[in-house]
Chains A and B, each alone.
Chain A
Amino acid sequence: MKAKPIFQCRDLKIEARPWAQEPIEIVKGISFDVFPGQVVALIGESGSGKTTISLAALGYTKPGLHFSDGEAILLEKDMINLDYEEKRLMRGEHVAYLAQSAAATFNPSLSIGEQVIESALLHGELSKETAEKRAVELYIALELPQPHKISKLYPHQVSGGQLQRLMAAMALVEKPSLLVLDEPTTALDVTTQIEVLKAIKKVIREEKSAAIYVTHDLSVVAQIADHVVVLYDGKIKEQGPVEKIINNPKHSYTKKLMAAVRPTPKANSIEQNILASELSNSALVVKNISAGYGGTNKRNPPKLVLHDISFSLNHGEVVGIIGESGCGKSTLARVISGLLPASSGQILLNEKELHPSVKNRSLSELQLVQFIFQMADTALNPRQTIGEIIGRPLTFYHGVKGKKRDEQVRKIMRLVELPDAFMNRKPAEISGGQKQRVNLARGLAAKPTLLLCDEVTSALDTIVGANVISLLKKLGEETGISFVFISHDLSTVSSFADKIVVLYAGRLVEQGTVQEILSPPFHPYTKLLINSVPELRVGWLEETLKKQGTEAGISGKVEMTDIGCPFYNRCHIKIEGLCNTTSAPFTTSLAGHEIACHHSDMAFLS
């Protein structure tokens, strides 16, 4: 006989009531149970209502929404009907919430320790001493460094992954029976994601609490969940134990989700199209670029974030730039576009040198390089219509106006698969994926030869992201545009790019064709990245953690160093006395595959 469920959702319905309009049902009758010690994953794309449902466990709705029907029973109490004071007592003590972005959740001006034990003290549940003791226990369980000292630090002094784990400690301090985790790893790099997943999984098991895990990433679900609820448009499409859903999905929507999961990067699965690219002229050459921020002396900025980067790109090719956040990928794109003038080095576009600063480039030079920003939400002016946004580059660069412009805008919109009717809509009236298409369309309207795509799929969920990638592929084939594709996601890059450039702490660590990058010899950092991409199968997390190199790789912190190899402190094959004192030389193969490592024995790097 099974234990009684901790949390029961019974035919839950939630409505939005826009001002003076008919109510819109957001959650359309959801029922599921959470048993003690069980992790239930709510999975679906953005807009499916997964966060809204998870918040019902706290008896909370976002402003503008309200519970219209059903029950959310936590420990035999219906959270929906409790009054404010009763809800307040339940929250923290019996149910805790772990938000997506720890960086935005912590108060930067209070020490971590104060914030972790704050709710326990507010509820009067624990005395200050016991709460602090409990916090240290949790820090140890979450494998945080220096568990006895970390309380005294401030949020900016620890890394993003550590902050996410500290937030887990904050949620767990009162030993809640139910933990609600809202996409706790979505904003993180793959390597940090492993670190957080591992800690959360361990602590949930040790604390014997139950959890609701909200995510759009099926491969993460496979690592952490026991039971999966697949949602689409506020309705449950399928639910069942994780093995059943992953190995034997029944519903067509689940199958669609599975199909959108990015394939694990494997060298042999990629067809190499070497084409006749060697014959054509280079589209972009980046030579020994260094760039940095701060200071008034543009030639010698005090904080260098890019050191001596060189790569080249032929017409019609796609180069993927990859690395963890803070490695300088976006800075590189800003340098190429001229928004951040390089402090030294050269940029050649179609074999002509470009002025470092956007201000001194000619109109035709500007037109040929277009920058597609990461967040379509902020990259589109909310006060302009889609037609105006896409039309402006046409007028600005090509002098096209009036009816002719509208016609061309429609043509471009069809190219990116947007309906004509969107011309007069504002960005707020279309979905996230559609905004990203508009963002792309604006870049295409300039008729560039080079598109700089900065993490264009990172803010999108898996299905929408996969659609955008296939659109980019199609555009590349149809228009012959070259792409610089920046991403922290190796699987996305390897499915799209011809060449890959791996950056670490502002330095180039490896570059070559996709085939070369994904097959040995590897730079130890590239290997760590490849091993960190989650696979869609149960048990992958444990396997990866056993692999040599992962442990060292995820526990170390990125250090911006001028001496030696920057990857030194995270490397499992480092050579003491050499790697930490001397910069790594490039080992170059005949085909131009470069690896920056002291190990000259290639076998060692496999």
Chain B
Amino acid sequence: MKNDIEENMLETEVYEELQDAPVKSRLRLSWIGKVCLGIVIFWIIIALFGTYLAPYHEAHFIEKDLAGNEFDDPSFMSPSKQVLLGTDYIGRDVLSRIMWGARTTIGISFIATILAYIVGIFLGITAAVAGKWTDALLSRSIDVVLSFPSIMLGLITIAAFGSSIPMLIVLSGLIYAASVFRIARALSLDIIVQDFVEVTRARGEGLWWIITREVLPNIAMPLATDFGIRLIFIILFISSLSFLGLGVQPPISDWGSMVRENLQGLANGFSGGAIATIAPALAIASLTIAINIIIDDISAHDGGSLSGKMV
């Protein structure tokens, strides 16, 4: 049989240790990611400046048309030059309320989600790293919180302490910290059995180092993916509290309560106010979907070996 040898073989050839293909790639969003980034930036601008840009105050009733004639029934008017998205069930401008509501909705839910994350992540990783009775104590307490329907917990707390925006933020933040705790703990359990954590333990490092330097950076990506979903839950939670009259108090607008309070308009069709409930729903959807797509985009290009662990 033949004995083939590669041509041009050189005795002096040097054989470097072979490298894996380079994985480093600069973060570049796909076109749809860029569109979504645009949407999120748009809503942030509205949240910051919407109150100055809106044609009316959120509590302003549209009583007269542009010519100065009074309406018989200003509720659920269809879009016109005067009210671009029509009016709501008691005759307020839907566009203005969405613009004002952006601040409340995005503000409350972002702050509450961040609070939920700080509390949930810290406790979750602590439970996983410390283990034993610390874990048992934290996990069982969190189980108690989770065993109540969140709306029930909300009702009880608000009944006791009254409703205000800071109250809503703390309440929803803490309730959702329980689910963040579960995710953070589960993700950390995967990490702490890895050799590099064992190395740090053998070195004698303290709990704080292990939590912040070894575990947290490795679960940051999957947790970030979850952020968008948690944000949606909090928006919905606050809306349902509003539905019961315990959330954002009228006349302050927020998107969730706008969807709910204008529900009857859906039955009237597009000429009679369906847009008053569809428009804020679209606002919620566009924001949350855009956030999720951006996070997906980032995690898809994340070179780290743990990127496969996306929730």
Contact = CB atoms under 8 A, between A and B. Distances in A.
Contacts of A429: 22-24
B148 interface: no
A463 B17 CA distance: 9
Given A338-B202, A393-B203, A46 B18 contact: yes
A272 B191 CA distance: 44
Residue among A241, A253, A382, A392 with the highest chain B CB neighbour number at 10 A: A382
B10 interface: yes
A240 B4 contact: yes
A381 B217 contact: yes
Contact of B5 (A16, A238, A375, A467): A238
Contacts of B69: none
B22 A358 contact: no
B19 to A, nearest CB: 5
A373 B12 CA distance: 35
A26 B21 contact: yes
Nearest to A234: B18
A374 B195 CA distance: 9
A251 B194 contact: no
Interface residues of A, number: 61
Nearest to A380: B196
Interface in B1-32: 1-6, 9-13, 15, 17-25, 28
Nearest to A227: B1
B2 A237 contact: no
A539 interface: no
Given A337-B202, A379-B196, A238 B21 contact: no
Given A240-B4, A373-B195, A446 B203 contact: yes
Contacts of B147: none
A381 B214 contact: yes
A297 interface: no
Given A47-B20, A252-B13, A428-B23, A378 B196 contact: yes
Contact of B2 (A240, A358, A393, A463): A240
Contacts of B28: 20
Given A240-B2, A383-B218, A20 B25 contact: yes
Contact of A371 (B2, B11, B194, B199): B199
Residue among B12, B17, B305 with the highest chain A CB neighbour number at 10 A: B17
A453 to B, nearest CB: 13
B204 interface: yes
A19 B22 CA distance: 11
B201 A251 contact: no
A244 B3 contact: yes
Interface string A21-43: 10010100000000000000000
Contacts of B196: 378-381
A47 B18 contact: yes
Given A378-B196, A381-B196, A383-B304, A18 B15 contact: no
B1 A240 contact: yes
Interface string B281-311: 0000000000000000000010111100000
A604 interface: no
Given A19-B301, A239-B4, A358-B202, A382 B25 contact: no
Interface stretch (A97-105, A174-182, A430-438, A595-603): A430-438
Contacts of B9: 237, 250-252
Q: Is the interface of B mostly helix, strand, loop or mixed?
A: loop
Contacts of B6: 235-238, 251
A374 B196 CA distance: 11
Contacts of B199: 371, 373, 379, 442
Interface in B189-217: 194-196, 198-199, 201-205, 213-214, 217
Interface in A362-400: 363, 366, 370-371, 373-375, 378-384, 392-393, 396
A42 to B, nearest CB: 14
B25 A21 contact: yes
A107 to B, nearest CB: 20
Contacts of A339: 198, 201-202
A413 B5 CA distance: 38
A256 B217 CA distance: 41
B15 A382 contact: no
Nearest to A237: B6
Contacts of A373: 195, 198-199
Nearest to A44: B18
Given A16-B21, A428-B304, A429-B23, A250 B5 contact: yes
Contacts of B24: 429
A236 B25 contact: no
A232 interface: yes
B10 A252 contact: yes
A428 B17 CA distance: 15
A48 interface: yes
B5 A251 contact: yes
A428 B201 contact: no
Contacts of B305: 382, 428
Contacts of A428: 20, 23, 303-305
A18 B202 contact: no
B61 to A, nearest CB: 53
A269 B196 CA distance: 38
Residue among B23, B28, B194, B203 with the highest chain A CB neighbour number at 10 A: B203
A379 B11 contact: no
Given A251-B5, A252-B11, A339-B198, A233 B18 contact: yes
Contacts of B301: 19
A235 B6 CA distance: 9
B217 A238 contact: no
Residue among B1, B11, B18, B23 with the highest chain A CB neighbour number at 10 A: B18
Contacts of B2: 240
B4 A238 contact: yes
B195 A358 contact: no
Contacts of B195: 373-375, 378-379
Interface in A214-259: 227, 232-233, 235-241, 244, 250-253, 256
B17 A431 contact: yes
Nearest to B25: A19
Contact of A241 (B3, B21, B23, B25): B3
A235 B13 CA distance: 14
B22 A464 contact: no
Contacts of B22: 18, 429
24 contacts: A19-B301, A20-B25, A45-B17, A237-B6, A239-B3, A244-B3, A250-B3, A251-B5, A251-B9, A338-B202, A339-B201, A358-B201, A366-B204, A371-B202, A382-B306, A384-B217, A393-B203, A396-B204, A428-B23, A429-B22, A431-B17, A431-B20, A463-B17, A467-B17
Given A24-B21, A428-B23, 16 more contacts: A18-B22, A20-B28, A45-B17, A45-B18, A244-B3, A250-B9, A251-B5, A358-B204, A370-B202, A373-B195, A378-B194, A382-B305, A392-B203, A396-B203, A428-B303, A442-B199
Interface of A: 16, 18-21, 24, 26, 45-48, 227, 232-233, 235-241, 244, 250-253, 256, 337-339, 358, 361, 363, 366, 370-371, 373-375, 378-384, 392-393, 396, 426, 428-431, 433-434, 442, 446, 463-464, 467
Interface of B: 1-6, 9-13, 15, 17-25, 28, 194-196, 198-199, 201-205, 213-214, 217-218, 301, 303-306
